[in-house]
Amino acid sequence: MSLLLVGAIVGGIAGGVAGGAVARRDGGGIAPVTATAAPAPLPPAPSPPASAQDPSAVAAVAEALSPSVVTVVNLLADGRTLGSGSGFVVDAERGYVVTNSHVVSDARGTGSGDAFEVIFPDSRRVDARLVGQDPDTDVAVLEIGRQEVPALTLGDSDAVPSGATVVAIGSALGEFRNSVTAGVVSGKGRRLPSELRRDIFLEDLIQTDAAISPGNSGGPLIWVATRQVIGVNTLVLREPGSEGLGFAVSSNTVRTIADELIRAGRVERGRIGIVYESFTGRQAPSLGLPAGATGIVVTEVVPGSPGAGAGIRPGDVITKVNEQRIDLEHPLLTIMLRFRPGDRVSLTIVRNGREQVTDVVLGRP
């Protein structure tokens, strides 16, 4: 099985989602351009209607929403194309476009490309400014100025059920703008298998069988029943002879990160300093836990980290953060978005079958 971040088309953008909010190994972070103001957050998702879907719904959604889906071009200083992907307008008045962090990243290791351009479906080209990017969640925001196109709505990804019809829109292969594919939500709360993760650390992914091709990264995954974005297409897992499994960053994660990037230009989250594996309730008994228990298993503690200072050990099972249970709906990475460096959190830890509560003062990435 192989992993493909689907934004790299020209020049080989590396899919660099490094380390993780809780388990970053590089100890650093990208310092994107700081936003010039602290505008209001993106609007919350309205409640989904109960309308039934019909065979023409996919075509209607594609026709209505495609004008707000764009191609994002990552450029070198001399104008050469470094790579390309997709994105979509989330605020037409303020001119904000959401895409993937790896679409705007630079394989040369300098953090991001030198310049960016957004291409609309009518071939109109607009220069873009990088507001900020968050490699841990693979989310980035560009600013393109006010545009006369409707903004797409970030819906409630927790509300979409498995089996719901979805549409993926993006620039397939970097050439075929606004390609539309349809499928269903195959699963929620997905996390990459550890053997495929490498430096990628993503949780709360939405799995879909809607075809996602290189160049689709950063494009919207749209719930047909509500016409709302419930995910940002980011990667495909493929095995020989299979069409592959598509994954999208959940819209609830995207909304939180995009708001922070627009507000401050970067996401600064508290760091425990652990590497871990998640487990499900059915796997709990094999860890000596009651059936149905959920959480994460610590596989490594970063030397000198807050976790090491608090006495966390490999093999510890962490089930809660400040009484918030860690489960598929509340993965650790998402929970940690609430906290900043210097915050004190209480971790419920099970060690050798005995439960204890340990306080940790969070550090910086």
Active site residues: 102, 138, 217
Using only C-alpha atoms, the chain has a radius of gyration, in whole angstroms, of 20
Compute the distance between CA of residue 333 and CA of residue 354 in angstroms, rounded to an integer. Answer: 25
Structure tokens at 84: 């390309």
Instruction: Find the largest Cα–Cα distance for the chain.
Output: 62
Which parts of 156-291 fold into alpha helices (H)? 194-197, 251-264
Strand ranges in the chain using DSSP code E only, listed in sequence order: 2-5, 69-75, 81-91, 96-99, 115-119, 125-134, 139-143, 165-172, 176-190, 205-208, 220-223, 228-238, 245-250, 274-279, 295-301, 317-321, 324-325, 344-351, 354-361
In the numeric block, which tokens belong to residue 359?
């306080």
Give CA–CA dist 297/350, Å, rounded: 10
Distance CA 134, CA 16 (A): 10
Three-class DSSP category at 286:
helix
> Residue 25 corresponds to which tokens in the numbers above?
């190994």
CB within 8 Å of 168: residues ≥ 6 apart: 180, 181, 182, 183, 208, 210, 211, 212, 216, 219, 220, 221, 222, 233, 246, 248
Backbone phi and psi for residue 202, each to the nearest 5 degrees, phi listed first? -125, 140
30 within 8 A of 139, measured Cβ to Cβ: no
Residues contacting residue 319 through CB under 8 Å, at least 6 positions apart: 293, 294, 295, 325, 326, 348, 349, 350, 355
Let me know how many helices (H) and strands (E) the chain has, helices first: 6, 19
